[in-house]
């Protein structure tokens, strides 16, 4: 017999209204885990419109996030999609993420280098936007190379080559793709909590056991000032550690382009030269510092400098490129037109501004203004001199390359004031500025 006197279960609580969350954040109230989880899930599903999330992002931009809010926000972004399972990978997994710079082709060298030392490196990378280059754009200079891999293909490449560099699949943190596109058009990109959650949601969902963050600092970096870079690094390290990913960060300098090549095919050429033992000292030093950090987190006692010197890292690179459909021996695109920027006087090159060089390379066709733009893989800049070099009046400092001669004018305009020659050499700043291990 049914007990008619039993009280009915209370109805589930009504979902919050998006406008209430906007008002709460605007007025400084901390959002709860449940509110954040509802918002991210509802926005990903299309149930909350862009204009309301735009308002919330602007409130976050000005109010920031508490550590609890940021944990919940990042967790909700991860939960918006799938998580990769790397359980079938035999070697210990460790990845690296760079916040982006000019001439930063480190990933092309670092992934096979660390793989040659016994780790597995599952690197999900992105494309360039504005003055910073993208790893996928660089590798797509190689005929046949594929950026898009299924999860099973990614694991297969990891097990055969020890490393893989590919694009994140559409199912990985889909909330981040929607939120980043919105931030890009609403002036809310420059928010440390939103930057940290964007980066770390994808890296945690990637399934790697350990992660090293290369946070660039200087004129060519996203974070130009050291305190902001330190805060971003600490925030990301804390998110990784809290999620069970062994995470550290290195702050590295980006006032000067890294290495001598800036572009796509030209950076691939320099990366391969470095794997042959012919790399510029600054690029080699930063790469080895990151490699040692990655191997430490992976629990591997190996010397990456030896793997770079004996050719085993180059062998891993060739395996990775071939496994992703590329021909490591194929000629790379070459620009049809070249011009040079020369020194205006004799002396020591004291300044070569990374941001100006990055913008000039972008204007030559190496970068894109919008995500849907195409890049010219042959376009770019080669630094024929770097700060600390002695130059003669009229000596070429930069070689500009493009397939479209009309691009030289805007590129040279971007380089106005980018170089300085002085009677005495200047003191070089440190390449590795700081190591951060806790949030």
For residues 87 and 170, the model is more confident at 87
Strands 246-253 and 210-217: parallel
Token pair of 24, please? 């709460």
329 phi and psi, to 5 degrees?
Answer: -100, -5
Q: Minimal CA–CA distance to 163: which of 118, 210, 104?
A: 118
- Position 438 scores a pLDDT of 81
* Residue of 80, 107, 125, 198 marked active site: 198
Task: Give the pLDDT mean for 130-149.
Answer: 92
202 is catalytic: yes
| Position 43 confidence tier, pLDDT thresholds 50, 70, 90 | very high
Task: Identify how many contiguous H helices and E strands the chain contains and give both numbers.
Answer: 16, 13
Please report the beta strands in 236-302, taking only residues with DSSP state E, as ranges in sequence order.
246-253, 261-263
CA distance 324 to 334: 22
- Position 10 scores a pLDDT of 59
| DSSP output for 142-178 | STT------HHHHHHHHHHHSEEEEEPPTTSSHHHHH
Task: With beta carbons less than 8 A apart as the criterion, state whether 61 and 191 touch.
Answer: yes
CA distances from 306 to 113, 277, 293 (A): 10, 10, 16
- Give the contacts of 57 (CB within 8 A, at least 6 positions apart): 179, 182, 183, 186, 188, 191, 194
Helix 312-323 with 151-161: angle, nearest 10 deg: 150
| Position 32 confidence tier, pLDDT thresholds 50, 70, 90 | very high
Mean pLDDT across the chain: 94
| Position 175 confidence tier, pLDDT thresholds 50, 70, 90 | very high
177 phi and psi, to 5 degrees?
Answer: -60, -45
CA distance 194 to 60: 8
Token pair of 64, please? 């920031």
Total residues belonging to the chain: 439
Going along the chain from its start, the domains and CATH numbers come out as 18-64 (1.20.970.10), 94-169+179-330 (3.40.1030.10), 337-422 (3.90.1170.30)
CA distance 292 to 303: 8
141 alpha carbon, distance to own chain's centre: 18
Q: Which helix (H) or strand (E) holds 70?
A: helix 67-79
* Residue of 95, 176, 255, 282 marked active site: 176
* Residue of 71, 131, 202, 203 marked active site: 202
Q: Sign of the C-alpha dihedral, residues 213, 218, 219, 223?
A: positive
CA distance 42 to 40: 5
Task: Give the pLDDT mean for 209-222.
Answer: 96
Rg (CA), the chain: 23
145 alpha carbon, distance to own chain's centre: 20
347 alpha carbon, distance to own chain's centre: 36
Q: Sign of the C-alpha dihedral, residues 282, 287, 290, 292?
A: negative
* Residue of 183, 246, 363, 368 marked active site: 183
pLDDT at 9 over 80: no
CA distance 127 to 264: 11
Please report the beta strands in 168-257, taking only residues with DSSP state E, as ranges in sequence order.
210-217, 246-253
- Position 426 scores a pLDDT of 85
Q: Minimal CA–CA distance to 437: which of 249, 297, 286?
A: 249
Q: Minimal CA–CA distance to 85: which of 171, 165, 212, 176?
A: 171
25 is catalytic: no
- Position 14 scores a pLDDT of 57
Kindly list the strands in the beta sheet with 347-352, ordered across the sheet, starting from the edge strand earlier in the chain: 390-391, 347-352, 419-422
CA distance 313 to 308: 6
183 is catalytic: yes
386 phi and psi, to 5 degrees?
Answer: -130, 160
Q: Minimal CA–CA distance to 235: which of 27, 39, 439?
A: 439
- Position 258 scores a pLDDT of 98
* Residue of 71, 96, 97, 203 marked active site: 97
- Position 4 scores a pLDDT of 42
Task: With beta carbons less than 8 A apart as the criterion, state whether 117 and 162 touch.
Answer: no
For 83-115, the pLDDT digits (tens) are 999 999 999 999 999 999 999 999 999 999 999
221 phi and psi, to 5 degrees?
Answer: -100, 165
For 339-388, the pLDDT digits (tens) are 999 999 999 999 999 999 999 999 999 988 777 778 999 999 999 999 99
How many CB atoms are closer than 10 A to CB 309?
Answer: 12
Token pair of 330, please? 């194929």
- Position 5 scores a pLDDT of 44
Model pTM score: 0.93
Task: Give the pLDDT mean for 379-399.
Answer: 97
- Position 3 scores a pLDDT of 43
pLDDT at 117 over 50: yes
């Amino acid at each position: 017999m049914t007990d008619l006197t039993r009280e009915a279960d209370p109805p589930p609580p009504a979902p919050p209204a998006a406008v209430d969350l906007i008002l709460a954040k605007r007025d400084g109230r901390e959002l709860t885990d449940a509110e954040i989880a509802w918002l991210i899930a509802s926005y990903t599903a299309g149930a909350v419109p862009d204009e309301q999330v735009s308002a919330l992002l602007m409130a976050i931009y000005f109010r920031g996030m508490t550590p609890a809010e940021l944990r919940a926000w990042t967790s909700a972004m991860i939960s918006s999609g799938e998580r990769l399972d790397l359980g079938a990978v035999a070697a210990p997994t460790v990845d690296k993420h760079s916040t982006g710079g000019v001439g930063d082709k480190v990933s092309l060298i670092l992934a096979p280098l660390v793989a040659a030392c016994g780790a597995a490196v599952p690197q999900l990378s992105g494309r360039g936007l504005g003055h910073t280059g993208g790893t996928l754009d660089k590798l797509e200079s190689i005929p046949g190379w594929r950026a898009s891999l299924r999860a099973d293909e990614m694991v297969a490449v990891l097990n055969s080559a020890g490393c893989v560099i590919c694009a994140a699949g559409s199912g990985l943190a889909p909330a981040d793709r929607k939120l980043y596109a919105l931030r890009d058009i609403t002036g809310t990109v420059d928010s440390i909590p939103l930057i940290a959650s964007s980066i770390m949601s994808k890296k945690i969902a990637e399934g790697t056991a350990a992660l090293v963050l290369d946070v660039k600092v200087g004129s060519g970096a996203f974070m130009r000032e050291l305190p902001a870079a330190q805060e971003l690094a600490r925030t990301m390290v804390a998110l990784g550690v809290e999620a069970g990913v062994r995470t550290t960060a290195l702050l590295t300098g980006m006032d000067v382009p890294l290495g001598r090549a800036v572009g796509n095919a030209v950076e691939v050429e320099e990366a391969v030269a470095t794997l042959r033992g012919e790399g510029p000292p600054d690029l080699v030093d930063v790469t080895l510092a990151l490699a040692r950090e990655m191997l430490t987190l992976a629990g591997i006692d190996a010397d990456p400098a030896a793997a770079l010197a004996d050719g085993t890292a180059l062998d891993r690179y060739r395996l990775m490129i071939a496994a992703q459909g590329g021909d490591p021996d194929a000629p790379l695109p070459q620009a049809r037109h070249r011009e040079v920027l020369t020194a205006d006087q004799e002396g020591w090159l004291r300044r070569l501004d990374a941001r100006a060089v990055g913008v000039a390379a972008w204007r030559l066709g190496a970068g894109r203004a919008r995500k849907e733009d195409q890049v010219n893989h042959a376009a770019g800049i080669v630094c024929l001199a770097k700060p600390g070099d002695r130059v003669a009046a009229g000596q070429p400092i930069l070689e500009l390359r493009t397939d479209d001669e009309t691009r030289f004018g805007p590129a040279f305009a971007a380089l106005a004031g980018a170089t300085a020659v002085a009677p005495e050499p200047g003191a070089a700043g440190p390449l590795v500025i700081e190591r951060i291990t806790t949030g």
